[in-house]
């Protein structure tokens, strides 16, 4: 049973990690495409329109990859996690069905019109189609995170005698206190990804002295969007999300921060340390006294419960993984603020386009928003364990009892091979689009 559960979790973790490489770019990029098209309508300068159409090609490629890699996850609800679907389908089916029926079709339909309908529609209606693509992508994220938020903090439900969850308050799904901070934090993180991608492509053009006008536009747009989103993802949304965890999942918060023992007189914030679960302590830690108490409760001496206050059976099942995922996310977020701040200072001084070390830095940083987003989601998911629905349904109770570990491992290996090929194909196609560059004055 433990092997079966392990492989079920590994398969879903792998498929969803690979899948989310694509929506995190499309959600942020859709906003930047709308911005470029809006700038064109205001200024009538063709490079903004050409930029919007160029990035919509990248968006379309990411969207296609997201669809292809998203479908297998839906099937896993019926194969690996059939018991979970049987028990909670009356609730999570609501938001997942709405995401498929409304958001996905809105996004996909108007994507086609944006790509191929500019001459027929005219520029104003073309802008509307781009805005509706943006609306569909952000609505999709909202409904998915509404599902996730219910699993983290279940509301508006009742449990029948047969153990099934049913919804008794539909509006509670969308007024869940977990939803808004998680959604805003996630969407801003997706803007960070798109900002680094756009600025990295612009830096590539400037360093190679090709498409230099677009290089300047992409770098400028990317670093401005990047600084704003990097700051907002830390505060207020990151702070709000962390306080939600401290309030509703205190055992998770203790594990995230590496607090094994409750400290009197305020809790320190750990900058570096290695969790030693066996001895229930942090090894080689570097910490600042009382700061965590102040950040969490605005009191220097506020007490934060350590893991010793909770039953071990309710501990997150992978405390080191949760601790490192959280600290990698926070550490990278801090670096993002720093590099985007430096880039904006140079932009203000009108020296950014010739400051090669910053341009190289923007290119080098390209993969790190993807890592930060991934570790952010790992923090949320590892933190909820050992529960599928927090405090109500354990992960072991949601797995399908009839799917063997051998079957799951076989299909996991198949997914790894297939996704490796899909990833290589994506990189080749994206590379061709970027190397070719924006096409001028094709209205």
Give the model confidence (pLDDT) of 29-79 as tens digits.
999 999 999 999 999 999 999 999 999 999 999 999 999 999 888 889 989
Continuous segment of H or E residues that includes residue 383: helix 368-384
Give the model confidence (pLDDT) of 367-399 as tens digits.
999 999 999 999 999 999 999 999 999 999 999
Instruction: Residue 142: name the closest of 192, 194, 107 by CA.
Output: 107
| Average pLDDT value for residue range 6-18 | 95
pLDDT at 201 over 80: yes
Q: What is the pLDDT confidence band of residue 132, given thresholds at 50, 70 and 90?
A: very high
* Average pLDDT, rounded, for the chain: 95
Task: Dump strand ranges (E) for 143-198.
Answer: 157-159, 165-167
Furthest-apart CA atoms within the chain: distance in Å: 69
> pTM of the predicted model, to two decimals?
0.96
pLDDT at 440 over 80: no
Task: Dump strand ranges (E) for 305-397.
Answer: 387-389, 393-394
Residue 341 and residue 168 in contact, taking contact as beta carbons nearer than 8 Å: no
Q: What is the pLDDT confidence band of residue 439, given thresholds at 50, 70 and 90?
A: confident
User: Which pLDDT belongs to residue 441?
Assistant: 66
Q: Residue 289's Cα: distance from chain center in Å?
A: 31
Taking each continuous run of H as one helix and of E as one strand, the counts in the chain are 16, 6
Q: What is the pLDDT confidence band of residue 264, given thresholds at 50, 70 and 90?
A: confident
Give the model confidence (pLDDT) of 202-248 as tens digits.
999 999 999 999 999 999 999 999 999 999 999 999 999 999 999 99
Give the model confidence (pLDDT) of 329-351 as tens digits.
999 999 999 999 999 999 999 99
As given in the structure block, the two tokens for residue 392 are: 């109500």
Strands 393-394 and 281-288 come out as unpaired
Using only the alpha carbons of the chain, give its radius of gyration: 23
Cα separation of the two ends of the chain? 60
Domains of the chain by residue range: 26-176+423-428, 185-397
Q: What share of the chain in percent tops pLDDT 90?
A: 91
Continuous segment of H or E residues that includes residue 281: strand 281-288
Give the model confidence (pLDDT) of 270-296 as tens digits.
999 999 999 999 999 999 999 999 999
């Amino acid at each position: 049973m433990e092997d079966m559960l392990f492989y079920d979790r590994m398969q879903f973790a792998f498929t969803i990690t690979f899948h989310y490489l694509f929506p995190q770019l499309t959600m942020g990029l859709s906003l930047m495409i709308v911005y470029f098209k809006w700038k064109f309508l205001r200024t009538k300068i063709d490079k903004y329109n050409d930029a919007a159409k160029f990035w919509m090609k990248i968006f379309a490629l990411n969207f296609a990859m997201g669809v292809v890699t998203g479908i297998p996850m839906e099937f896993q609800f019926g194969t690996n996690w059939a018991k979970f679907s049987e028990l909670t389908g009356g609730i999570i089916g609501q938001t997942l069905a709405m995401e498929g029926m409304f958001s996905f079709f809105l996004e996909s339909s108007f994507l086609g019109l944006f790509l191929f309908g500019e001459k027929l529609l005219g520029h104003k209606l073309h802008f509307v189609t781009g805005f509706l693509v943006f609306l569909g992508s952000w609505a999709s994220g909202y409904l998915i995170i509404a599902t996730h938020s219910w699993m983290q903090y279940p509301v508006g439900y009742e449990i029948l005698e047969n153990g099934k969850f049913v919804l008794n308050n539909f509006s509670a799904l969308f007024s869940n206190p977990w939803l808004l901070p998680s959604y805003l934090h996630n969407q801003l993180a997706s803007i960070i990804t798109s900002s680094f991608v756009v600025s990295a492509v612009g830096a590539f053009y400037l360093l190679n002295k090709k498409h230099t006008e677009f290089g300047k536009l992409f770098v400028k747009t990317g670093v401005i969007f990047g600084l704003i989103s990097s700051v907002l993802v830390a505060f207020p949304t990151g702070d709000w999300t962390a306080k939600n965890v401290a309030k509703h999942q205190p055992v998770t918060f203790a594990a995230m921060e590496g607090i094994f023992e409750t400290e009197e007189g305020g809790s320190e914030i750990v900058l570096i340390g290695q969790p030693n679960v066996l001895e229930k302590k942090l090894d080689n830690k570097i910490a600042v006294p009382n700061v965590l108490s102040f950040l969490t409760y605005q009191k220097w001496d506020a007490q934060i419960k350590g893991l010793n206050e909770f039953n071990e059976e309710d501990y997150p099942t992978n405390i080191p993984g949760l601790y490192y995922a959280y600290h990698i996310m926070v550490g990278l977020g801090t670096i993002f603020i720093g590099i985007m701040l430096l880039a904006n200072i140079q932009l203000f001084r009108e020296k950014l386009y010739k400051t090669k070390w910053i341009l190289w830095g923007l290119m080098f940083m390209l993969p790190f928003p993807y890592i930060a987003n991934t570790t952010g989601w790992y923090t949320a998911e590892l933190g909820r364990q050992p529960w599928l629905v927090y405090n109500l349904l354990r992960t072991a109770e949601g797995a399908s009892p009839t799917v063997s570990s051998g079957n799951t491992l076989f299909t996991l290996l198949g997914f790894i091979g297939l996704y490796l090929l899909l990833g290589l194909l994506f990189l080749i196609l994206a590379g061709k689009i970027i190397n070719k560059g924006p096409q001028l004055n094709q209205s």
